[in-house]
Chains A and B, each alone.
Chain A
Amino acid sequence: MRRSALRIAAALALAGPVLAACGSGGTPTPGATGADTQPPAPADSALDPNATAKVRLVLEPTSLNLTTTAGVAVEQVLLDNVYQGLLRVDTNADNKIVPALATGFETSADGLTHTFHLTPGATFHDGSPVTAEDAAWSLQQVLAPGSKQPNAKSLATIANVAAPDQATVVITLKQRDTNLTWALTQRVGVVYKKGTDFTKLDAAENGTGPFKLDGWQRGSAITLVRNDAYQGAKAKVAKVVLSYIPDRNAANNAQATGQTDIETAAEATLLQPFTGNDKFTVLRGTTTDKYTLAINNAKAPLNNPAVRHAIRRAIDKDALIKTLGGAGVRLGGPIPTSDPGFQDLAAIDPHDAAAARKTLADAGVDNLKLTLKIPNIYPAAIGDVLVADLKEAGIELTVKQQEFTAWLSEVYTARDYDLSLVNHAEPHDIANFATPGYYFGYDNAQVRDWYAQAVAAPDERTRTDLLTRIGRRVTEDAAADWLFQAQTLTVVRKGVSGAPQHHTSSRLDLATIGITK
């Protein structure tokens, strides 16, 4: 059972934040610039409540319908801002699960019953109150047979959803599921008004969040306006213009010339106009973006673990991170730093081209020629570095750039590939290695067993322990190679506070943004 998978556009969205920071004197040098914390926000009285915040984003959604269209782009805009679920994550606290439309919940001792209490006073944008009936109905739509909602399967353990009274939702599970609360923070957990016509969501939204959708200039921008009737902390600006500027250079120019107030996913090697310039702050944020070199475990000679280990040893990840600008951290295994089960696994398969060469020779593999399929949204430099690294180990690598949709059908669906590089951006996606049908072609009965146990684990420690073991085993099996975990850089104009900093490609809480008068 696959819980969560990388999302189509998670990969697309992260074309940007790979590259590096700049040194002084106009020479872009690897090395970290960017603050980890931002100055405290000024008092509300110092902010202009009528201001418009202009934010640069990378990837425009293809649709505004969360119930039909997969992809992180639509979630980035709509989750938290326009639509909300019972729970949400706090991106500033390592994706901690916190209340949203529910003030809290209780779990029964056997872990099979979750009782949620709705936030009093919450209303939809049309003014009607949010009821338990609405919440139950929304979840039931995801669970309905034949549901085409993206990621509907992440709620598959739910046996029943009930609304015993106006303010209480009870979810009953078929079995213990430690992933449930996380799933509820995601799009499958969004509460729609009962009876919403999901086919019309593109044209008519009726959310509960601090913003209402104002307009979508396709190919250019999405505009949100403040929901003045919001029951919680109201948005600090009257309007947000989300400008889609895919080109990193153009985005930089836009930020430098004041066309935008906040530039998300800034290019690390292009920070020169902003560093050492007190008109701007550069924020460095965490992501769960795992730049994953998928190795087709099911295809000879890559089905030989020795060959996979050789490939892993051939790649100098530290140098790669450095060359790409330093906006990333070494990631030895499949679990990113902010996910449960993270451990430093960089010691497995350390970089050594000679050893890689020898491993290949010992395995009787020579003149290895491989093709790397890589969606054309990623910087070509990654391919260049991999070609150079593998060449040192005697592997001839040819890169094939393709559109993401072509990648989806060739690599993801048809599994026709040797190596593939994609940014697996989704948090909590270790299940991919416990899913035999997944495009990695990796299958280990022990890992599958551990994962099932982790899902049904009675407590957090047991679960984390199992996940840690999975991470190590997957790495020892060289199921894939993890080049780095990206960091995201956000450039903020002076006078703008409360800018989103972490995980900006999937969640972008805009309500905290304030602009000084």
Chain B
Amino acid sequence: MTVFVARRLALLALSLLGASVLTFALLRLLPGDAATSVGGITADSAQLRAIRHDLGLDRPLLVQYWTWLTDVPTGDLGNSQLNGSSVTDELGEKLRVTGPLVLGALLLALAFAVPLGMLAAVRRERRDATVISVASQLGIALPTLWVGLLLILLFAVQTPLLPAQGFPVDGWADPGEAVRSLVLPTLTLALSEGAVLLRFVRSATLDVLHRDYLRTARAAGRTRTGALLRHGVRNAAGPVLSMLGVQVAALLVGAIVVEKVFTLPGVGSMLVADVGNRDLVKVQGEVMLLVAIVLFVGFLVDVAQRLIDPRLADVRRPEVSA
């Protein structure tokens, strides 16, 4: 296991390195740069050249990449090209919004997707399962934007229970207020992601429901539910977990839209704004953070799966399916 974790971590570092090259290169395709943004249309070409020089944009790309990359391991993601502020600091600030939002949405989604998904699978032929299935299909089909707007309309405008938008200016100084402003966004994000998750859970549960070992367990004296809880959950957890990495990626992207709908100062809206302003050093930092989160979740999932499924630990691949 230790060897596995070590190898997997090395791979993670390698992936991040690859991602950094990809990110850096792709962003250089964008028309315009920070100097365009700083200079706007009041700067003439001589001024633009001077601004480029000041920002170091006239150095060879490899040099720019290397300078940026060598600082990353020290936790220094560089400084904004527009206002010089530390990218690391600002990301830390924004994560205080996006972190709780995404994590809350994930937990909330899991909290309703897992039991409902299992229920939908177990009671596949019954009416309540049909209701769950239809609801989850709708949950997937409805655009996040729509759900968010509807929730705002219902719970902030018509009945003013929660803030319609924004995050307290003094952040978490008043935790109650901060939490209140995250309720609707979290719910919005959780609903659409939860609906997707629910379908994974349902499908994974359906899969194990047909497994012989559940029958064996029942033949040995377990009830239907007992067998499912004792043997089914562990086995269904694998496929659901393997989707979790992708789900977290989807949540982070979903957060971009949700942050815009609710005008939250999070990593997502920061990313959109910085791409628009061509503050590419910041964009690099933000993308690397998002990629790192997704890859790290993937790493955790791999470790968890090996803990759950002993077959994965064996060097020789076991038979895939029977």
Contacts and interface: CB of A to CB of B under 8 A. Distances in A.
Do these two chains interact? yes
B51 A148 contact: yes
Given A60-B273, A70-B42, A253 B50 contact: no
B43 interface: yes
Q: Name, among A9, A151, A217, the residue most crowded by chain B CB atoms within 10 Å (CB to CB).
A: A217
A63 B51 CA distance: 15
Contact of B40 (A9, A217, A249, A253): A9
Contact of B85 (A202, A221, A243, A408): A202
Given A405-B31, A406-B32, A69 B164 contact: no
B261 A250 contact: yes
Contacts of A404: 276
Interface residues of A, number: 52
B277 interface: yes
B32 A259 contact: no
Interface string A387-423: 0000000000000000111101110110000000000
A218 B169 contact: no
Given A60-B273, A412-B41, A257 B164 contact: yes
A146 B43 CA distance: 11
Interface in A105-159: 146, 148, 150-153
A92 interface: no
Contacts of B266: 219
Given A60-B273, A220-B265, A249-B149, A241 B169 contact: yes
A404 B167 CA distance: 27
A245 B166 contact: yes
Q: Name, among B41, B84, B166, the residue most crowded by chain A CB atoms within 10 Å (CB to CB).
A: B41
Contacts of B39: 70, 148, 150
A27 interface: no
A404 B39 CA distance: 13
Contact of B38 (A5, A69, A217): A69
Contacts of B269: 219
A303 interface: no
Interface string A248-281: 0111011011010000000000000000000000
A37 B279 CA distance: 41
A6 to B, nearest CB: 6
Nearest to B266: A219
B47 A148 contact: yes
A150 B40 contact: yes
B269 to A, nearest CB: 6
A65 B37 CA distance: 13
A413 B38 CA distance: 14
Contact of B164 (A65, A217, A259): A259
Contacts of A9: 40
A254 B164 CA distance: 6
Nearest to A413: B36
A148 B50 contact: yes
A325 interface: no
B157 A253 contact: yes
Contacts of B94: 219
A257 B262 contact: no
A405 B277 contact: yes
Given A62-B82, A219-B273, A257 B163 contact: yes
Given A253-B157, A257-B156, A405 B164 contact: no
B42 A150 contact: yes
Contacts of B36: 405, 408-409, 413
A229 to B, nearest CB: 25
A223 interface: yes
A199 B260 CA distance: 32
Contacts of B32: 403, 405-406, 408-409
A221 B269 CA distance: 14
A221 B261 contact: no
B260 to A, nearest CB: 7
Contacts of A202: 83-85
A424 to B, nearest CB: 10
Q: Name, among A256, A405, A409, the residue most crowded by chain B CB atoms within 10 Å (CB to CB).
A: A405
A64 interface: yes
B246 to A, nearest CB: 27
A340 B237 CA distance: 73
B171 interface: yes
Nearest to B160: A257
A219 B163 contact: no
Nearest to B169: A221
Contacts of A410: 31
24 contacts: A8-B41, A60-B273, A62-B83, A63-B38, A68-B38, A148-B54, A199-B84, A202-B83, A202-B85, A218-B90, A218-B93, A253-B164, A254-B166, A256-B164, A257-B156, A257-B160, A257-B164, A404-B276, A405-B30, A405-B278, A408-B37, A408-B40, A409-B36, A410-B31
Given A150-B43, A257-B156, 4 more contacts: A62-B279, A148-B43, A219-B273, A220-B167
Interface of B: 30-32, 36-44, 47, 50-51, 54, 82-85, 90, 93-94, 149, 152, 156-157, 160, 163-167, 169, 171, 260-263, 265-266, 269-270, 273, 275-279
Nearest first, the 5 A-B pairs at minimum CB distance are A70-B40, A8-B40, A219-B265, A253-B164, A220-B265
